[in-house]
Amino acid sequence: MTTEESATGPTTPDQPLADRVNTRSRRPQSAAFRDFVASGWDRASAGDAQPLPAAAWTPARREALSRSFPGERLVIPAGGLKVRSNDTDYVFRAHSAFIHLTGLEQDSEPDSVLVLEPTEDGHEQTFYFRPRAGADTEEFFSDSRYGEYWVGPREDLATMEARTGIACADIREAPEAITKDLGSVSVRLLRGADTVIEAQIDTAREQVAADLEISLAGDDELAQFLSELRLIKDEYEIGEMRRAVDITRAGFDTVVASLPRAVAHARGERVIETAFAQAARSDGNGVGYDTIAAAGDHACTLHWIKNTGAVADGDLVLVDAGAEADSLYTADITRTLPVSGTFTEVQGRIYDAVLEAADAAFAVAAEHTRRPVVFAEVHDAAMRVIAHRLADFGLLPVSVDEALAPTGQQHRRWMVHGTSHHLGLDVHDCAQARADMYLGAELRPGMVFTIEPGLYFKAADLLVPEEYRGIGVRIEDDVLVTEDGVENLSAGFPRTRAEVEAWVQGAR
C-alpha cells in the first residue's frame, strides 16, 4: 500500500471504502498499545443480578406462544442498529414483540434473537445475544458500535440469564440454531425486525425447497399471534401504562408553562415540543412517538410533526404527546389549549362538541358490564355526537341519519380518523391483530385504548363559515377496561373547557 501526500495530509488511494469511515480517528495500532490497553481493568461481574421488572410476567407470555405453535421453531429477533448518518446510529429500540416476551427495557441488546426450539413437551427457550467482550479483544477498544470502551459494558451470559430468566447463548451460535434441520422442522419467523436473520432463514428455506408461500403465511400467523397476545394487558403492563401517563402529565404541565415562551419565539411549536421532550426524557425513556405541537391551522393537519410554526395569542394549540416509560410502554394524550388562557365563543363551541363526543364514547365503553360491547361501538358513539353537532352548526349537507348511514358519512369530512386504538408498547398497539379481534372484539378487562374524537376545520375549507376556519380540536384520553366499567388513566389531566382555561391561566 502506498501513501501519498496531499493538501490535507497523507492519503491511501487503495484503502477499502468501508475502512475510510475510521480515517479521522487516528486510532493507535502498535502492539505496545494493544498490550497496554488490555491490561489493568477491573471488569468483575456485576455480582448478584436482579431480575428485570417484567421477568415475573414474561414466562406466561412465552408459554402462551409455545402452546399455540407446538412442534415448530419460533424465531423472534430484536432487530439491529439503524444508521442515522454515516457512522452514527439511531438510538436502538427492539421490536415490541421481542420486548414483550423478554422484558428487556430501553436500548437493550441490538442484533439479539429469542428462539423457541420445539421439544416433546413444549419448547426450549434460548436468548442469543452479544455477550460482554474481553478487554484483550479488538472489540473492546476499537469497535465504536459495540465496544465497551465506546458504548459501555454489556452483560455476560450468566448475568443476562439471571435478569431475563431465559437460558442464554452467544449470538454467534444463532445462525446454526435457527436454520438447522429446516427440512424436518417447521420454522416461523417474526419478519420486519432483522433483515440479516430473514436472509439466513429465507436462504435455508430455498436450500430445502420449502414452499415459500406457505412459509411466509406461517410467518404472518406468528406476527398476528404476537400482536393479539398484547390485546389484554397484565398487571405489570397496566402499572407501566400508569407510569407513562404520570410522566406525560408532568410533560404537559411543562408544555403549559412554556406557552409564553412559545408566543415569543419564531418557532413556537418547537418550544412546546422541546418542553415536552425534556420531561419525557428526564423522567422516562423519552417520547413514545413524534410529538404533535400544532398551532392554529396546523392543528387541522392530523399528523403535523414538523412543528415549525409560530404560536400566537388567540390561537388554539393542539398537543398530542406521550411519554415512554423505561419499560417502553407509552401514553398517548391530546389536549387542545387556548394560548391566551380563554377560548373564544367559536373555539369553545367546537371544543364542547368534541368533549361531548368523548364522553359519549366513554359511556358506551362502560356499558360492557351490562351487555357485550364491541370495540367499534366506541367510535360509533362518538360519531353520532359529531354528526349531530355538525348539523347544529349548519354544516351537514344532508340529514344526520343520512350522514350516519354507511352510504353517507359526510360528517367524516371533519373527522376522518378513528376514535380509538389500542395502546401499549406501540402507540398504535396490536396493529397486526385480525379485525374480529380488534374492531369486532368485545371489550374485556385489561384492554387499554384511547378515546380521541376531534373536529378539524382547515383554513382552506370553503364549506365552513370563515369563523370556523383554521380551528382544530382533539381531546384524547387513555382508557383501561376494568371489571367494574372503564377507568380513565388520564383523569388527572384538565379536560373540561373551564379546567383547561384555569390550567393555562394558572401557568401564566
More confident residue, 316 or 152: 316
pLDDT, position 142? 86
Question: What average pLDDT does range 87-98 have in this prediction?
Answer: 95
Domain at 58-228, CATH from 3.40.50.720, 3.40.350.10, 3.30.479.30, 3.30.1540.10: 3.40.350.10
Site of grid cell 349548519: 394
More confident residue, 142 or 80: 80
Are 262 and 311 spatial neighbours (Cβ–Cβ below 8 Å)? yes
Question: What average pLDDT does range 376-382 have in this prediction?
Answer: 98
Residue count (the chain): 508
Instruction: Work out the number of other CB atoms within 10 angstroms of the CB of residue 431.
Output: 14
pLDDT, position 344? 98
pLDDT of 4 > 50? The answer is no
pLDDT of 406 > 50? The answer is yes
Question: What average pLDDT does range 61-84 have in this prediction?
Answer: 97
More confident residue, 257 or 8: 257
Q: What does the alpha-carbon distance between residue 449 and residue 332 come to, in Å, rounded to a whole number?
A: 9
> What mean pLDDT is reported for the chain?
94
Question: What average pLDDT does range 30-46 have in this prediction?
Answer: 85
High-pLDDT (> 70) share of the chain, %: 95
pLDDT, position 13? 61
Confidence class for position 42, pLDDT limits 50, 70, 90: confident
CATH class of 235-507: alpha beta
High-pLDDT (> 90) share of the chain, %: 86
Judged by DSSP in three states, 452 sits in: coil
pLDDT of 6 > 60? The answer is no
Hey, what amino acid is at 61?
A: R
pLDDT, position 22? 64
* Of residues 263, 265, 351, the one with CA closest to residue 313: 263
pLDDT of 282 > 80? The answer is yes
pLDDT in tens, 477-489: 999 999 999 999 9
Q: What does the alpha-carbon distance between residue 208 and residue 312 come to, in Å, rounded to a whole number?
A: 65
Are 308 and 296 spatial neighbours (Cβ–Cβ below 8 Å)? no
Which residues, 6+ apart, have CB-to-CB distance to 250 below 8 Å? Answer: 279, 283, 323
pLDDT of 173 > 60? The answer is yes
pLDDT of 24 > 70? The answer is no
Q: What's the N-to-C CA distance of the chain in angstroms?
A: 68
Are 353 and 423 spatial neighbours (Cβ–Cβ below 8 Å)? no
- The grid coordinates of residue 462 equal 370553503
pLDDT of 399 > 70? The answer is yes
Q: What does the alpha-carbon distance between residue 106 and residue 52 come to, in Å, rounded to a whole number?
A: 12
Instruction: Work out the number of other CB atoms within 10 angstroms of the CB of residue 100.
Output: 26
pLDDT in tens, 426-464: 999 999 999 999 999 999 999 999 999 999 999 999 999
pLDDT, position 2? 42
Q: In what order do the strands lie in the sheet with 122-129?
A: 167-170, 122-129, 113-119, 72-77, 186-189
pLDDT in tens, 98-145: 999 999 999 899 999 999 999 999 999 999 999 988 888 888 888 888
Confidence class for position 7, pLDDT limits 50, 70, 90: very low
Phi then psi for residue 305, to 5 deg, are -120, 5
Question: What average pLDDT does range 162-172 have in this prediction?
Answer: 97
pLDDT, position 436? 95
Are 449 and 420 spatial neighbours (Cβ–Cβ below 8 Å)? yes
* Of residues 251, 246, 332, 334, the one with CA closest to residue 289: 332
CA angle 68, 71, 73 (to 5 degrees): 90
pLDDT, position 507? 85
Question: What average pLDDT does range 82-92 have in this prediction?
Answer: 92
pLDDT in tens, 305-356: 999 999 999 999 999 999 999 999 999 999 999 999 999 999 999 999 999 9
CA angle 313, 318, 321 (to 5 degrees): 130
pLDDT in tens, 204-250: 999 999 999 999 999 999 999 999 999 999 999 999 999 999 999 99
| Residue boundaries of the structural domains of the chain | 58-228, 235-507
Hey, what amino acid is at 178?
A: I
Which residues, 6+ apart, have CB-to-CB distance to 12 below 8 Å? Answer: 1, 2, 3, 4
Cα torsion angle, 241, 243, 244, 245, sign: positive
Q: What does the alpha-carbon distance between residue 380 and residue 409 come to, in Å, rounded to a whole number?
A: 12
Distance of CA 293 to the CA centre of its chain: 18
Are 321 and 287 spatial neighbours (Cβ–Cβ below 8 Å)? yes
pTM for this prediction: 0.93
